[in-house]
Amino acid sequence: MVRAAERAGRPPRTSVWLEDRAPRGGGRGGGGQPSGLDRDRITAATVRLLDAEGLTKFSMRRLAAELNVTAMSVYWYVDTKDDLLELALDAAFGEIRPPDPEPHPDPEPHPDPEPHQGSDPEPGPEPGPEPRRSADPDPDPDPDPGPGPDPAPASSDWREELRALARAYRALLVRHPWLSSLAGTFLNIGPHAVAFQLAVQRVVRRTGLRTAGQAGALSAVFQFVYGFGTIEGHFVRRCAAAGMSQDDYHRRAMSAVTREPGLREAVRDSAALRQARADGTVEEIRDRDFAFALELLIAGIETMVRRGE
């Protein structure tokens, strides 16, 4: 076991992307190093296991079995399980292909009330300095994600680009239900996550909002998408675990709820709302709800721009 004095002498862990870790090479097979293994392969296997079994069942031992190596072999490439989860998180963000930057003439934002509020907003934690990426010669984990969203189209209309990025983020959260938990645990400053954040910032800067209000717009849109996609992803996974379609699961759940005396009043009060959205499958209804909610947020941004906020 590591003694308390040794732990006290170590700097606190920040991010795998900020670790100054010497590369250990890949696949020489000598000196105890596993042959045919590299960080990208390990990261891709981690994403597959997390998708198939979830975060709670993931372990280094389980990963080693998937790769047909010993658990110690994995530690040639990562120091901790957290490092590996952080790599998997960024690999998943690599499935979002932001639009290529266009030379859009940024609209003049309304001046801020104070001169010190001119820094660019950001959707997540402070990225800090440029990460030192020395763990591998090519440390960017970019496993083949399989079928995923098409690249968001470049467009002169910030609204269309914002919709495309929001839809891509929602789809990512649904495909990988474990991602929402990790995104709130780690700094999320890998190259793919940062590329997504920068793409979002570029779009919001073109809205015409004051600089001081741009961070609020980012939060309104992407915290909404985060919550919507997280709940949707967990529901989809729960239906799959039950071996039921989403419609069958919803019907069974509603039948059980309506039989519960303590919930009858809530069901009765929401009858009109449910009837108004009853046309279509669960997935179709959810898509309409998402699209309408996103339009409300875009309309809110437009209103704030007109008001000079």
pLDDT, one tens digit per residue, over 13-52 is 789 999 765 545 444 444 455 668 999 999 999 999 999 9
Identify the pLDDT of residue 151.
Answer: 43
Question: Where do we find the tokens 């941004």?
Answer: 301
189's tokens: 């400053």
pLDDT, one tens digit per residue, over 168-226 is 999 999 999 999 999 989 999 999 999 999 999 999 999 999 999 999 999 999 999 99
309 lies in a domain? Answer: yes
254 lies in a domain? Answer: no
209 lies in a domain? Answer: yes
| Structural domain of 90 | 13-109+138-243+277-309
Cβ atoms 290, 231 nearer than 8 A: no
CATH classification at residue 86: 1.10.357.10
**How does residue 264 score in pLDDT terms, banded at 50, 70 and 90?**
confident
Residues 6+ away with beta carbon under 8 Å from 229 = 169, 170, 171, 172, 173, 174, 180
4 lies in a domain? Answer: no
- Distance (Å, whole) CA 209 – CA 219: 14
The one-letter amino acid code at 101 reads P
pTM: 0.76
Residues 6+ away with beta carbon under 8 Å from 31 = none
157 lies in a domain? Answer: yes
pLDDT, one tens digit per residue, over 140-156 is 444 444 444 444 444 46
* 129 compared with 57, residue with greater pLDDT: 57
265 lies in a domain? Answer: no
Report, as an integer, the average pLDDT of 102-123: 47
- Distance (Å, whole) CA 182 – CA 254: 31
Identify the pLDDT of residue 115.
Answer: 38
Q: What is the mean pLDDT of the chain?
A: 81
Identify the pLDDT of residue 278.
Answer: 75
How many structural domains is the chain composed of? 1
**The residue count for the chain:** 309
